[in-house]
């Protein structure tokens, strides 16, 4: 059995092939194009024994090509590779060798690459785009908040999220504090109606905004440049906001088209976007996680034990799938509002002196144990069955 390590790069890839006894069979590089892939096909075809391939990433043209050609592909997380790399030693060739070596010795961090359906891959791509949009909204939103603090703090008091559509429309209609102070009650009422305001009673909101805008406030000596900057940001933020809403619809539509969607939606607190994230990052390859503990370790909800001589430490797990961890954390925070036992479990963690983050992580760990079983059997979650099982085993239960 040959073990092959591939160090991925944008323009070329370095490969190292180890024989079963650990000696280097060959080392070479290929270009990241069809010519390089054809060369790789020829080199692999010359091997006189089965082989496995270890790589650092889960996507890209090379990974697609390897999977499409039926090769056994394994994944080693970049952080795990970093921890095993000799200090001050980093070359593409040495990383390719290390990847092959870790695969040959059976390193536990080398896991088979999950075989995802096309729909799950499409959902993952949409979620990456969505996360990118969220990041851009935060970036430009923070810039808008910074500028308003310089000359227009009343707008921030009136609208705590100035990157929302109604707030940006207000800033366009009343771009300066002076313009806002000239507004009348009737004009404010008409503005809210134009924006289809659906909050608290309209008249109360009008009075609240009017009092904020009329309150005395310090003036900026020069504000014209900041006003122009804000007006430039508004169309960008408006486009980002609408793109985000469109992406949400596409994500939900793709999620609902998957056979596993109904199962995910039965979990208390798994709103559609959270459920879509769980499906996308956990996937639909039932062989990917052989046990619940493997899934929990991948999500980083269980600690890692380190031993050295007589010393032993239990530490927070940093090498994990941060996307799964975030999705599970979201589920934990939402489930305490929807599930009695989840609320009780979280409260018990707090009573033991744990902080909120650790309590949610512990709850997420419990959820993953349940999710793994549902995921394997494709059964819907039933709160009554789970509460009965917990009572049977003498575990914490919250009665109605």
- pLDDT score of 229: 98
Return the number of other C-beta atoms located less than 10 Å from residue 95's C-beta: 23
Q: H/E/C letters for each residue in 107-142?
A: CCCCEECCCCCHHHHHHHHHHHHHHHHHHHHHHHHH
pLDDT > 70: percent of the chain:
92
Taking phi over 0 as left and psi of -120 to 50 as alpha, with beta for the rest, 321 belongs to beta
Task: Let me know the angle formed at the C-alpha of 170 by 166 and 173, rounded to the nearest 5 degrees.
Answer: 140
How many angstroms separate the CA atoms of 162 and 156, rounded? 7
- Residue 210: predicted pLDDT: 96
**pLDDT band, residue 200 (cuts 50/70/90):** low
Tell me how far CA of residue 185 lies from CA of 173, 174, 210, 388, in angstroms: 15, 14, 7, 58
State the Cα–Cα distance between residues 323 and 280, nearest whole angstrom. Answer: 10
Q: pLDDT for 344-379, tens place per residue?
A: 999 999 999 999 999 999 999 999 999 999 999 989
Q: Which token pair is 72?
A: 């056994």
Answer whether residue 188 shows pLDDT above 70: yes
Output the six-digit token pair for 14. Answer: 């370095």
Q: Which of 49, 47, 43 is nearest to 13 (CA)?
A: 43
At residue 62, the pLDDT reads 94
Rg, the chain, Cα only: 27
Q: Which of 171-175, 193-197, 231-235, 366-370 has the lowest mean pLDDT?
A: 193-197
Note the pLDDT of residue 398.
46
| Tokens found for residue 272 | 């559609």
Q: Output the pLDDT for position 397.
A: 47
Reference 331, options 379, 285, 281, 273; nearest CA is 273
**Paired residues of 54 in beta bridges:** 5, 74
Q: For residue 299, which of 373, 369, 348 has the smallest C-alpha distance?
A: 369
Q: Give per-residue pLDDT as tens, 30-59.
A: 999 999 999 999 999 999 899 999 999 888
> Is residue 400 predicted with pLDDT exceeding 50?
no
pLDDT attached to residue 109: 78
Distance CA 230, CA 197 (A): 23
- At 311 the pLDDT is 65
Q: What is the pLDDT of residue 83?
A: 79
Is 269:275 a contact under the CB 8 Å cutoff? no
All domains of the chain, ordered by start, with CATH? 2-112 (3.30.420.10), 121-253 (1.10.287.4070), 261-392 (no CATH)
Q: By the 8 A CB rule, do 36 and 12 touch?
A: yes
CA dist., res. 338 & res. 397, Å (int): 15
Question: DSSP secondary structure string, 297-344?
Answer: HHHT-S-EEEEETTEEEEE---SS-HHHHHHHHHHHHHHTTT-HHHHH
Distances (CA, A) of 294 to 8, 281, 354: 26, 14, 24
H/E stretch holding 25: strand 24-31
Please, which pLDDT band fits residue 386 given cuts at 50, 70 and 90? confident
| Band of residue 88 on the pLDDT scale cut at 50, 70, 90 | low
Q: Which residue do the tokens 């990456």 mark?
A: 128
pLDDT band at 306 (very low <50, low <70, confident <90, very high): low
List the structure tokens of 399: 């009665």
Is 387's pLDDT higher than 80? Answer: no
CA separation for the pair 293, 368 (Å, rounded): 9
* Least confident window among 126-140, 260-274, 293-307: 293-307
Q: Each residue of 190-199: pLDDT tens digit?
A: 999 999 887 6
């Amino acid at each position: 059995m040959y073990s092959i390590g591939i160090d991925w790069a944008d323009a070329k890839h370095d490969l190292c092939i180890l024989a079963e006894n650990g000696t280097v069979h060959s080392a070479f590089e290929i270009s990241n194009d069809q010519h390089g892939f054809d060369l790789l096909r020829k080199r692999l075809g010359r091997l006189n024994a089965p082989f496995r391939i270890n790589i650092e990433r889960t996507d890209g043209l090379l990974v697609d090509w390897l999977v499409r050609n039926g090769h056994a592909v394994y994944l080693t997380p970049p952080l795990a590779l970093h921890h095993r790399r000799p200090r001050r030693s980093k070359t593409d060739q040495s990383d390719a060798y290390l990847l092959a070596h870790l695969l040959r010795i059976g390193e536990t961090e080398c896991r088979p690459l999950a075989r995802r359906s096309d729909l799950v891959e499409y959902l993952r791509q949409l979620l990456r785009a969505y996360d990118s949009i969220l990041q851009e909204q935060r970036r430009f939103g923070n810039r808008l908040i910074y500028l308003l603090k310089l000359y227009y703090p009343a707008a921030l008091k009136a609208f705590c999220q100035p990157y929302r559509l109604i707030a940006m429309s207000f800033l366009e209609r009343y771009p300066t504090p002076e313009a806002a102070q000239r507004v009348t009650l009737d004009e404010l009422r008409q503005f809210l109606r134009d924006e289809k305001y659906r909050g608290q009673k309209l008249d109360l909101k009008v009075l609240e905004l009017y009092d904020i805008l009329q309150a005395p406030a310090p003036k900026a000596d020069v504000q014209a440049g900041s006003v122009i900057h804000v007006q430039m940001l508004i169309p960008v933020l408006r486009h980002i906001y609408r793109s985000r809403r469109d992406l949400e619809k596409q994500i939900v539509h793709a999620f609902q088209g998957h056979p596993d969607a109904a199962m995910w939606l039965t979990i208390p607190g798994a709103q559609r976007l959270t459920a879509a994230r769980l499906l996308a990052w956990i996937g639909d390859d039932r062989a990917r996680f052989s046990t619940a503990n493997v899934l929990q370790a991948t999500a980083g909800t269980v600690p890692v034990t380190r031993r050295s001589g007589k010393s032993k430490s239990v530490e927070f797990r940093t090498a994990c799938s941060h996307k799964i961890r975030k999705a599970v954390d979201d589920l934990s925070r939402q489930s305490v509002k929807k599930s009695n036992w989840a609320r009780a479990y979280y409260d018990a963690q707090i009573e033991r002196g744990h902080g909120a983050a650790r309590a949610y992580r512990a709850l997420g760990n419990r959820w993953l144990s349940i999710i793994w079983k549902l995921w394997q059997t494709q059964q819907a979650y039933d709160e009554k069955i789970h509460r009965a099982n917990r009572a049977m085993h003498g575990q914490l239960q919250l009665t109605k």
